[in-house]
């Protein structure tokens, strides 16, 4: 592994694992959820509020940061963590997801990707090597390779070509010089095809990456297919390296993945959904817009110890949302991230105690909300 980057497993319960990722900037208890700070900011929250939710690492978006404010400015500021006053570990994606999400603005060849900037339409070339170099300037603790992520309904031929290209790029990227202590993770594609996933996992795992991620999930495929890939592929990923599922998902998704041996997650869902009034609670979710909360003096989630639940009532929070007060974005985001942080902390404790199956069932059991 990269000097200064280590991973250890402290406990197992079936396939579920509890451990630690140790980076030069700090230690990440696993399983871990990474809030998404796309543009060097988790919308509406300060770094202290993010940390209080239980997060120990944040994700930044390479595509957006290289466009604005630019990797050179962030490098001059001392790197992403210092630039955003987080001062703890960060992970940067490579821009690969934007190849999928901005497909109408992208041209992909074996040489790399050409984007039309969503800001001003200017032409941007991103080779596999440049993707790693940009992340080096951003100074993240974990960098991701540039990969090709086909949509969930892509024909098998397209999936196979994305695998071939991702492996081609991976072999080029593993040789690119990186800052001292910066780890590099490989990404496994293969969509919903178990046989293709196995083939691509073998190719990526054969390279000396510090961790391995499953990409190309939660991109339009049926949820039962995503869970099948968790069941069939996650336990086959190298046991001595961190295992990461990218862009996933709901609390139920995370618990399913943890049960099958996944260590790391990121998703915009807890923050984006909060801004739309959706709140995650044990056993389900609620929408603060609903009329039933008009005069409800209960906290968002009884028993939750987040600052929102210990301070505010549902009727006040609904008033803020219906009045379009900006404060509501902060308060619901605080709760949702605290919910995900509590989920991860509870999973770690349950794994250590050999009680993960009971914990999963309890967290997902519907409640009267």
Look up residue 301 and give its two tokens: 């989630």
In 3D space, the residue among 183, 181, 150, 182 whose CA is nearest the CA of residue 165 turns out to be: 150
Query: Are 111 and 126 spatial neighbours (Cβ–Cβ below 8 Å)?
Result: no
Query: Are 60 and 90 spatial neighbours (Cβ–Cβ below 8 Å)?
Result: yes
The whole-angstrom separation of Cα 147 and Cα 99 is 9
Cβ neighbours of residue 83 closer than 8 Å, sequence gap 6 or more: 40, 74, 77
Which residue numbers are catalytic?
93, 266
DSSP secondary structure code for residue 78 in this structure: T
The whole-angstrom separation of Cα 59 and Cα 242 is 16
Question: What are residue 184's DSSP bridge partners?
Answer: 143
Look up residue 32 and give its two tokens: 């871990």
CA dihedral of 60, 65, 68, 74, whole degrees rounded to 10: 90
DSSP secondary structure code for residue 31 in this structure: S
The whole-angstrom separation of Cα 146 and Cα 97 is 9
CA distances (Å), 263 to each of 13, 147, 241, in order? 13, 20, 10
Residue 153's CB is within 10 A of a number of other CB atoms, namely 12
Cβ neighbours of residue 13 closer than 8 Å, sequence gap 6 or more: 350, 351, 354, 355, 356, 357
Angle at 37 between CA 36 and CA 42, to 5 degrees: 100
The whole-angstrom separation of Cα 305 and Cα 308 is 8
Q: Would you report the helix, strand and coil content of the chain in percent, each value rounded to 5?
A: 40, 20, 40
């Amino acid at each position: 592994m990269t000097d200064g980057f280590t991973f250890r497993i402290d406990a197992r319960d079936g396939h579920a694992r509890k451990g630690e990722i140790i980076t030069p900037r700090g230690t990440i208890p696993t399983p871990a959820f990474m809030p998404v700070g796309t543009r060097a900011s988790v919308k509406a929250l300060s770094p202290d509020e993010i940390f209080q939710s239980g997060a120990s690492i944040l994700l930044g978006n390479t595509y957006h940061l290289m466009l604005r404010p630019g990797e050179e400015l962030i490098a001059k500021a001392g790197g992403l963590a210092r630039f955003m006053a987080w001062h703890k570990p960060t992970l940067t994606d490579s821009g690969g997801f934007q190849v999928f999400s901005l497909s109408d603005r992208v041209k992909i060849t074996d040489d790399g990707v050409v984007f039309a900037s969503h800001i001003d339409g200017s032409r941007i070339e991103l080779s596999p090597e440049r993707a790693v170099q940009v992340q080096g300037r951003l100074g993240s603790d974990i960098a991701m390779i540039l990969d090709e992520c086909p949509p969930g309904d892509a024909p098998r031929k397209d999936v196979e070509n994305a695998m071939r290209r991702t492996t081609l790029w991976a072999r080029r990227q593993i040789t690119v010089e990186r800052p001292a202590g910066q780890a590099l993770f490989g990404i496994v594609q293969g969509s919903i095809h178990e046989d293709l996933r196995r083939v691509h996992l073998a190719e990526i795992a054969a390279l000396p990456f510090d961790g391995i991620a499953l990409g190309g999930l939660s991109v339009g495929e049926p949820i039962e297919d995503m869970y099948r890939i968790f069941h069939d592929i996650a336990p086959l990923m190298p046991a001595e390296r961190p295992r990461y599922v990218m862009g996933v998902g709901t609390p139920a998704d995370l618990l399913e993945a943890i049960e099958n041996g996944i260590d790391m997650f990121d998703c915009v869902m807890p923050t984006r959904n909060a801004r739309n009034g959706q709140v995650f609670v044990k056993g389900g979710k609620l929408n603060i817009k609903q009329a039933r909360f008009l005069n409800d003096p209960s906290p968002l989630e009884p028993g939750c110890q987040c600052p929102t639940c210990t301070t505010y009532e549902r009727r006040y929070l609904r008033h803020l949302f219906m009045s379009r007060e900006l404060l509501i974005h902060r308060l619901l985001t605080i709760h949702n991230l605290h919910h995900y942080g509590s989920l991860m902390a509870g999973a770690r404790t349950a794994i250590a105690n050999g009680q993960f199956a009971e914990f999963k069932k309890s967290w997902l059991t519907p409640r009267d909300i």
